[in-house]
Amino acid sequence: MNITKEQIDDLNAVVKVAISKEDYQDKVEQILKDYRKQANIPGFRKGQVPMGLIKKQYGKAVLVDEVNKLLQDNLNKYLTEEKLDVLGNPLPKQQDDFDWDSENLDFEFELGLAPDFEVKLKTKKAVTQYKIVADKKMIDDQVERIQKQYGKLVSKTEVGKKDEVTGFFANEAEEIDHKTTLELDKIKSKKAIDALVGKKVGEVVTLNTKGLFKEDYLLSSSLGITPDKAEKLAIDVTFTIEEINEREPAELNQELFDKLFGEGNVSSEKELKDKIKEDSEKQFEQQSDQKLLNDITEKLIEETTFELPADFLQKWIQVSGEEMLTNDQAKEEYEKSEQGLRYQLIEGKIIKENDLQVQFDELKEFAKGFIKAQMAQYGHMDPKEEELDGIAARVLGNQDEVKRLSEQLMSQKLLDLYKEKANLKVKEVSYDDFIKEAYS
């Protein structure tokens, strides 16, 4: 067997594979002998079928199968040994005059080659790295929510502006009949608040659904209807009052601190606010990091220019799916995937040049951190190391989970690298300003 490469240009090549009879004859003969031993053909005893008949019936199919195996194995080996960085897979060239009866078989494959390019992490224009800070208003609002959540309900005889009112919403035409609890400080409509304030248990109030709540999602849950139905709903509904309560805020004392953060971890209102600030900003960091990763990705694609073997890739896309695509469909799919392919090449080069690797021990610790964070959400704040090791072992026994966590860990390694070497400008913002700037 002889394999040679003809370089067309920097991004395209043709590999020629010449296979002689000696490369496949012994294997084909052995397979046909095995067929002969097992063949059941009317008129012949098992194992006594003439070899000429076996070759006539099975020879071509066995030959084609064995030659294709030789091609696949040796072509892959050649690409590896020659260190050819190919895109997609080699595409066999159409040969109209190909003759399987010839003793010497010649094949040609088109290759799309990865471009040679340089990645500069220090982009021309700096990328904004947002540092989201928890401002005083946010912290005070969180303290108020905590006090409200852990406070106690005090029964009242008539509705006040900050009370909670339990009752039934009804509208016969829209088939609404749903019990709910309204928090008056979440109602947007001044007309609705005025209608409710001063009312007593047993009284019925008519409210309009349009613009009733400060948050749109509250309408569907309060009326017991789907969000789609609630979206454009503008009708009058009756609300029959069954219960009126004032939520007396919890005291900011040691009992509450211990309930929130474990015994002795927080011992004053200042420490509570510091803890809220720390936890909030840690959560915000995940959002700002994701924004940074996205922005650097876009900037690297924009500033790292190189050509791709577009014609080859479109041909490869055309034939590589379950169904053959038309030229126009393949072109459209290529245009959709081009930016992703460019970043795959850029990312791969960054990983290689900076020797970023995911080691198993690192992956195990990363998995344990992920598990610990999930357990904390359910109130399990201090799991034992043996417990984490056991759960991590089960998680890492699932290959899909290994792949997912490995990708997340590599993204974290890339992010750390960008923070160290990329051209960044840090900007401190409140969470509200971050949302306005980042996603406007």
pLDDT at position 373: 82
Does residue 146 lie in a domain region? no
pLDDT at position 405: 94
What is the average pLDDT across 357-372? 92
Q: What is the pLDDT of residues 326-343, one digit of tens each?
A: 999 999 999 999 999 999
Same domain as 222, residue 165: yes
pLDDT at position 262: 82
CATH classification of the domain holding 21: 3.30.70.1050
Same domain as 309, residue 366: yes
Band of residue 98 on the pLDDT scale cut at 50, 70, 90: confident
Does residue 118 lie in a domain region? no
Same domain as 168, residue 212: yes
CATH classification of the domain holding 209: 3.10.50.30
- In percent, the amount of the chain with pLDDT more than 70 equals 100
Over 80: is that where the pLDDT of 363 sits?
yes
Band of residue 260 on the pLDDT scale cut at 50, 70, 90: confident
Both tokens of residue 189?
């409509």
Does residue 130 lie in a domain region? no
Number of domains in the chain: 3
Same domain as 377, residue 414: yes
Higher model confidence: residue 379 or residue 258? 258
Last residue of a domain, one of 195, 218, 248: 248
Q: What is the domain range of residue 279?
A: 268-439
What is the average pLDDT across 159-172? 95
Mean pLDDT of the chain: 92
pLDDT at position 292: 96
Does residue 272 lie in a domain region? yes
Band of residue 263 on the pLDDT scale cut at 50, 70, 90: confident
